Amino acid sequence: MEKLAIHGGIPVRETKLYYGHQYIDDADIQAVVDVLKSDYLTCGPKITELEKRLCELTGAKYAVAVSNGTAALHIACMAAGVDKGDEVITTPITFAASANCALYCGAKPVFADINEKTYNIDPKDVEAKVTEKTKAVVAVDFTGQAVELDALTALCKEKNLVLIEDGAHSIGTKYKGKGIGSIADMTTFSFHPVKTVTGGEGGAVLTNSEEYYQKLLLYRSHGITKNETEYQHVSDGPWYHEQIDYGFNYRITDIQAALIISQLDKLERFTKRRKEIVDRYNEAFSEIPELTVQEEIPESDTTRHLYILRIKPDLLTIDRRAFFEAMGAENICCNVHYIPVYRHPYYENAGYPKGLCPKAEKLYDEMVTLPLYYAMSDTDVEDVITAVKKIVAACRK
């Protein structure tokens, strides 16, 4: 048996492999430079162009580009009418923003447990958590795999809830052939550099509802309108505009929008390469009894953002932490997505108890995120597999 690097053996590779990395080419750089040389750095034509592209890509009727994915979630909750005293149901296996958006509106995040095989929110547990106060569901396409949209849509319709899909991981994914972004009442995207498509920062809300669309436009920009048909007073002249609602500056720049558009030109390539890597990982890991591979629902044609490997600690002499550290010593940098949101001290101090979602907590104890990004070479991928196999072989019970 080979000696693990963490015990002084030779690492699988000499240089560090990171878990995620953006891919920027000359076309991206040129797109940004072109905007810098133009008249508009913000509120310009690139933003409209990006919104059009997102509608074409997903099949949604409307898109509102904003400064980041968190802002997108916030204004989606506002448009849904989430308010003080309301409850919003989400998953604990997500980035904190999926729950924080309820807090921004004075509402209470409520956590429904996950499906232990797909790691996405379990519609049955969502149903069990619905109360008279529930206003919306924020369903996260974790790792890029679509949530069970048919079940969630039916449930939300029956209970009169707004379905907000947090698609921060799932740009490019399709559910039963329809683009993510065109199905839920509202869908949000993030263009943070770790996501599949980046603008440095950036986000968007997609919807088929004209009513939500008009609200989202107002909330993005101070509640101010320049549309005469919305005025409550008589216009004073050509400079006139009115603040008719409450809102923020959640605008995105044309610089970012141009970068995102250029990145979207490569989305098909990104998807293809990510799928290849996922297939290779799945092939290698599914035959190792000490490991569990994430299951996919057949409805989801997934552009995968994250690759989650789950270990079976009962069959190994090491736990997740030791596995993670052993991978690091082999020069494969992993990550963990996510600490269940309600296990953060802020939520704990607000009264959320440990044990609230046992399946989510068990997953958290057993998972690592392996490197997955477009620019990974075949050698990089094989290095990851070699390192995983080496550690499992050395730590079998």
Ligand X SMILES: *Cc1c(COP(=O)(O)O)cnc(C)c1O
Closest to 357 in 3D by CA, of 136, 184, 109, 103: 109
**Binding residues for ligand X restricted to 140-159, rule: CB under 6 A:** 140
Residue 380, token pair as written in the block: 């990089």
**Closer Cβ to ligand X, 167 or 179, answer by number:** 167
Residue pair 279/250 in contact by the 8 Å Cβ criterion: no
13, 46, 169, 174: which one contacts ligand X (CB under 6 A)?
169
CA angle 40, 46, 47 (to 5 degrees): 100
Strand pairing of 108-111 and 134-140?
unpaired
The reply to whether 74 sits near ligand X by the rule CB under 6 A is no
- Nearest approach, Cβ of residue 38 and ligand X (Å): 25
CB contact burial 18-47 (16+ within 10 A = b; e otherwise)? ebbebbbeeebeebbeebeeeeeeeebebb
- Check residue 98 for interaction with ligand X (CB under 6 A): yes
Q: Is 120 in the site for ligand X (CB under 6 A)?
A: no
* 68 lies in the site for ligand X, by CB under 6 A: yes
Q: Does 192 bind ligand X (CB under 6 A)?
A: yes
In the complex, minimum distance from the CB of residue 223 to ligand X, in angstroms, rounded to a whole number: 21
385, 280 in Cβ contact below 8 A?
yes
Based on the shown chain and the rule CB under 6 A, indicate whether residue 75 belongs to the binding site for ligand X.
no
Among 22, 58, 70, 153, binds ligand X (CB under 6 A): 70
In the bound state with ligand X, the residue whose beta carbon lies nearer, of 137 and 395, is 137
Any contact of residue 69 with ligand X (CB under 6 A)? yes
Choose the stretch contacting ligand X; rule: CB under 6 A; options: 95-103, 107-115, 219-227, 234-242: 95-103
Specify the residue for token string 């949604």.
Answer: 60
What stretch of H or E contains 162? strand 162-166
Residue number with CB closer to ligand X (70 or 300) = 70
Stretch that binds ligand X, among 94-102, 256-264, 325-333, 368-376 (CB under 6 A): 94-102
Nearer to ligand X, 68 or 303 (CB): 68
DSSP string, 264-331: HTTHHHHHHHHHHHHHHHHHHHTT-TTEEEPP--TTEE---S-EEEEE-GGGBSS-HHHHHHHHHHTT
- Interacting residues toward ligand X by CB under 6 A: 68-70, 94-95, 97-98, 140, 166, 168-169, 190, 192, 203
